[in-house]
Amino acid sequence: MYAIIKTGGKQYKVSEGDIIDIDYTGKAAKETIEFTDILAVNNGELKTADAVKGAKVEAVVVLDGTGVNRDRKVVIYKKRRRKDSKLKRGFRKSFTKVKITKIAA
């Protein structure tokens, strides 16, 4: 059984027991999160749109990704040729690592 959920403007295909990184939510470790924006559920047959109204996915926070535990650095480098103009910046995204515990459809 799997579900497709939407959170933080992204879509994730999840099953029970999966561990995923989502955008930072501000929740502490061992708190529960409930996802209600479900796009599809498959438990033998695929159900989408109106058929999944009322479905929800429950997850528990494994790791809060602030401070030391942030994502790897993404380097942004801009260069304008022949102008001696360069700009290099780094960015580390904060995330929340969650474990999917239950899919109710």
5-38 pLDDT, tens digit per residue, is 999 999 999 999 999 999 998 899 999 999 999 9
- Radius of gyration of the chain from its Cα atoms, rounded to whole angstroms: 18
Residue 57, pLDDT score = 96
Whole-model pTM: value is 0.81
For 29-49, letters b (16+ CB in 10 Å) and e give eeeebebeebebbbeeeebee
Percent of the chain with pLDDT over 90: 71
The region of weakest confidence among 17-26, 60-69, 74-83 is 60-69
Cβ-based neighbours of 65, under 8 Å, separated by 6 or more:
21, 24, 71, 94, 95, 96, 97
Handedness of CA 20, 25, 28, 31 (dihedral sign): negative
